[in-house]
Chains A and B, each alone.
Chain A
Amino acid sequence: MNLKSLAYILLIGTMLLVTSCSQNPVYKQYETVFQLGDQQEWAAKDLNAEHWTKHIKPIPDGQVFWSRTTIEILKTPKALHPYGLMLQLYGEYEVFWDGVLIGENGNPGQEATRDPEGKMWATFSIPTDLTEAGEHVLALRSSLYHFPDHIGIEEMKIDEYNELQTQRLIEASYMHLLAGAFLIATFYFLFLFVSDKKEFATLIFSISCFLLFALILAEFSKVYIAIHYSLHVIRLKIIGALMLGISFLIPYYFSRRFPFPKRKLLLTIYAGILLYFFLSKHVFELKANNMILSMWIFSIAVVVFGVYKKIKGARLVLLSLLLSVSIGFFTPFDKSLFVGFCLILLGMFYLLSLRIKEQRLAYETSLLQSTRLRLELLKKNIQPHFLMNTLTSLIDWIEESPKKGVLFIEALAKEFDLLNQIENKTLIPIEQEIALCRTHLEIMEYRKEIKYSWQDEGIDGSQKIPPGIFHTLLENGITHSLPLNDNSIQFKLIFEENSKYTCYTFLTFAKRASQAITAKEDGTGIKYIKARLTESFQEQWAFTSRPVSHGWKNTIKIYF
């Protein structure tokens, strides 16, 4: 199975999982009314609360106030399966159900004098005899010392008590499994980045995974850590900060893979928008919503651009983004958030795997290229033009002047020896290259009977260059040049260095032999030089080669 179909199956699987989590509630909640003050009778089921207010102003100094909520139980619980009440609200309070105290969470009215007690999320068991189908009254005796403007029940749920307790734990444990996966991914991609610092994408992915891991922890730790309501805002701030990070990193990641014009400017603007939402005075949910929404819009825009540009992987990522949006429409915010993030991260993961594949291929190609270059260097002295012409001249020298013939053979042996030494290197000392050039000239003198001379200037012995590049230029110079009137051809290598680059200038002083050299295409020699420079210096070099009045001029610049 290929990666693409696997990704599709994962996407569909996640969708099914998300859509199957809905149930019919066993109760119906009516409006809540409030009253400042503290009277025990206010707990009673049949109290006339007509004059109580639906909206109450912030109550200062942690004074006690009461709230009453009418609740209709739709289904009497099964025997031995009592109902429980789960509450999420700010404040310390006592819970009365039909006038009966069924639990307490902290010390209402005494917050100023006593240590904080109680937790943001609390579950209370309701006696079975009080939960027959019909109307009931939930009365809370509360005080709100820390956030006097956060009056009211944030969330409540009535269900079988056991169900309420375990459901949350099960949900949390699943989410923690997911968090564990993200943590492993975090380390894996972090190590990948450490081993190859150039791979910035793996770092971004690693950070994104870590942020999502932390986000899940921050979100679901409420199940097993008792958080006092006064500290809850810290948790929300942490979640907000994590979301800010994720909301920036995801589109940033996509923007690296699917580059678009004015990328930096647009990313800066986007970061500004996110920061604006993050720092705004909105309630937390709106902040989070705004950030997530802008992330989706920006990401989709980036990926759509990628699809438009037909960049590999863009279509699958777009699909995962659209899916995460559609999930957002029919699941509660906190769930859709994580599922959405998971889908997007899967998309990112897919892109990363594409990239790793590309790199592997590039690496294999570079290996192949290195081998090819090595062969090309080796071939220099056995290619027929060199070898056969040399041997023909050599035979002639031996027949005509054996002593000179011997010297010729020695020069030839020296060049072969030098070539053997550098054959498997990618960089060699410049001195070695110069020695190679000098020997080559010696051989060519026997062959062509032209006075070749070699000069170098300012050579820094510590410099290294790819093997055979000046040798190649020298060969070209010999091939394409005719001797000057005094039957000589001169070559000169000049080395210069400044703070930005080192520069080699290779000059030929001769008459040009043929006009055709200015042709558009590089010869194999020039291709060899360029490939060698790329192999050792990537893009950090420049090569020029052009005719000048005295012959030919080549320059090789290597940037730091």
Chain B
Amino acid sequence: MTLASTIQQLCFLVLAAVVVVGALGVVLLPNIVYSAFLLGGVFLGVAGLYLLLNASFVAAAQILVYVGAVNVLILFAIMLVNKKETLAVIPGLLLRRLLSGGVCAGLFVLLLRVAFTTHWALPGPLPVGEEATIRIGEHLFSDYLLPFELASVLLLMAMIGAIVLARRDVYSSDVITGEPVDQGLIEKTRTPLLLDPSANAGGQPLLETTP
């Protein structure tokens, strides 16, 4: 094994670990802000995998679209649109978790079986390297024109929907429940540093009285 292929193996293992561990973190972490930041890390890891496969244009596009746009918008949504609501205890939470865990495990086993039974070492087309950008452009404007245009229609629909939802002068109350919408910034809970936190049993903040 040469130095180059060793380094490639190593890079692949590190990137794969980042993607898998990061994805698990996104799902399992209780703090949604951490999940969102980790999602950015996962996207970056995937971009690194593309780079390892000599698809530099796809890697750059992945970073631009997923990290730069999607993930930032998710963070925006988390930090701006934060309805303060108390989470009610869901009945049968353990059973639900077991069921969804079972479904996920089944899917995982299925994917593993496919991964191990498929013959992957197919002779593909020759790698095109830097020509890939031109080739992608040609495909987008010839045989993949319809999916490309449909994707843009989908984005247009999403944009119109977002504008309708965001126009607060029209919808000052929640569309589903009819409650007035409370737009507060997400902030960490503030307890004064030098006071005994156990004295704050009434649930009222001690110093901060403004919402």
Answer yes or no: do A and B interact: no
